[in-house]
């Protein structure tokens, strides 16, 4: 059995994004757990704000189709989501909404989200580490998209001191949770391969 492939990305494209730092740490943890991470940036998949009239007039943007095709070539994904007002970023919501509109002949609805596993993480300046936003993201992914989301969520608080010089997580307990989550993601994704 080949090693499962895992897409890893942040719901933020801001320069210096703290959630992008979590993407780097998650990719290392996934590789250590035996998976093959593919780190991407949503900046490379620019999408207009979702609008049903735009979809009717112009169809699905190529970037949304490319994201879905990328996900179809992977068995899982790790999403590092910033917290915006106790929810998740509009950029991430928009990307997932467009991806949910892509239908591929011969495949079930929501092909990017079915038959793959997702893990969620967040970094924030607050003590809760983006946990409130993660619960909103989990709800949307499970209820709205029918995705399989691991129960563990890596919430990293106190962003200013969260990362060690080597890019790993400074807090041993949080680092252990990331390693555990990455291991479970790789194991579950491997069973889907």
- Domain parsing of the chain, residue ranges: 5-192
* Helices 90-100/62-72 angle, 10° precision: 80
Instruction: Look at the pTM and tell me if it is higher than 0.85.
Output: yes
Provide the pLDDT for residue 38.
98
> How far is the C-alpha of 109 from the C-alpha of 100, rounded, in Å?
8
> How far is the C-alpha of 83 from the C-alpha of 123, rounded, in Å?
8
Other Cβ atoms closer than 10 A to 128: 15
Provide the pLDDT for residue 143.
96
Instruction: Provide the residue count of the chain.
Output: 193
Residue 10 forms beta bridges with which residues?
Answer: 80
Tens-binned pLDDT, residue by residue, of the chain (193 aa): 689 999 999 999 999 999 999 999 999 999 999 999 999 999 999 999 999 999 999 999 999 999 999 999 999 999 999 999 999 999 999 999 999 999 988 888 899 999 999 999 999 999 999 999 999 999 999 999 999 999 999 999 999 999 999 999 999 999 999 999 999 999 999 998 7
Provide the pLDDT for residue 1.
63
> How far is the C-alpha of 46 from the C-alpha of 57, rounded, in Å?
18
Helix or strand holding residue 90 (H, E): helix 90-100
Provide the pLDDT for residue 193.
72
Which fold would CATH assign to domain 5-192? Rossmann fold (3.40.50)
- State the Cα torsion 138-163-178-46 to the nearest 10°: 40
Provide the pLDDT for residue 134.
97
List the one residue out of 162, 152, 160 whose CA is nearest residue 131.
152
Residue 79 forms beta bridges with which residues?
Answer: 9, 120
């Amino acid at each position: 059995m080949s090693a499962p492939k895992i897409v890893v990305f942040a719901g933020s494209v801001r320069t210096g994004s703290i959630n992008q730092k979590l993407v780097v740490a998650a990719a290392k943890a996934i590789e250590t757990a035996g998976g093959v991470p593919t780190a991407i940036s949503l900046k490379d998949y620019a999408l207009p704000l979702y609008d049903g009239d735009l979809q009717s007039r112009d169809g699905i943007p190529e970037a949304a189709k490319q994201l879905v095709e990328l996900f179809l070539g992977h068995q899982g994904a790790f999403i590092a989501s910033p917290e915006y007002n106790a929810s998740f970023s509009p950029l991430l919501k928009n990307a997932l909404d467009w991806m949910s509109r892509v239908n591929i002949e011969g495949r079930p609805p929501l092909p990017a989200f079915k038959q793959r596993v997702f893990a969620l993480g967040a970094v924030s300046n607050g003590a809760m580490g983006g946990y409130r936003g993660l619960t909103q993201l989990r709800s949307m992914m499970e209820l709205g998209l029918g995705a399989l989301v691991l129960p563990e969520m890596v919430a990293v608080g106190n962003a200013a001191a969260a990362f060690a010089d080597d890019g790993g997580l400074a807090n041993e307990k949080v680092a252990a949770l990331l390693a555990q989550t990455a291991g479970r993601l790789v194991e579950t994704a491997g069973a889907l391969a």
